[in-house]
Amino acid sequence: MEKVININTNNKLFYRQYLELISNFPPINKLRTKELDLLALLMYEWDDKSNIDEESRMYVILNKDTKKDIANELEVTPDNINTLLYSMRKNGVLNKDNEPILALRLGISSNFVLKFNFIIK
């Protein structure tokens, strides 16, 4: 049996909604609300700046001005961003370069599908 739920969203909101859907599964289940908010923004920026090579992308995303914009959007200080990044690295959702782990690099399209298979024994 298959159930389909269509969710209308936009490019930026999508990532937060996606994280909410998978928030009961490791390693996402270890994150607090602000960490989820920051991770969603980082995932959005990672995909939005896909024209930049991966080695330079996080440097561009986390430059001083962008970090200040992200902090303002999350209503935290730039120093809080550093603390959140540390916690997210510690919890395994970012690598040592603050890049989202491969499983969180989505490269979304206009018709993204997330499928859960429940195996009931």
Task: Compute how many other C-beta atoms are within 10 angstroms of the C-beta atom of residue 118.
Answer: 4
106 or 23, higher pLDDT: 23
Q: Is residue 58 very low, low, confident or very high in pLDDT (cuts 50, 70, 90)?
A: confident
pLDDT of residue 110: 63
Q: Which of 120, 95, 91 is nearest to 25 (CA)?
A: 91
Q: Which two tokens stand for residue 4?
A: 């389909």
pLDDT per position as a tens digit, 20-31: 999 998 999 999
pTM, 2 dp: 0.85
Delimit the domains of the chain by residue range.
Answer: 29-104
Burial of 93 (0-12, 13-18, 19+ CB in 10 A): buried
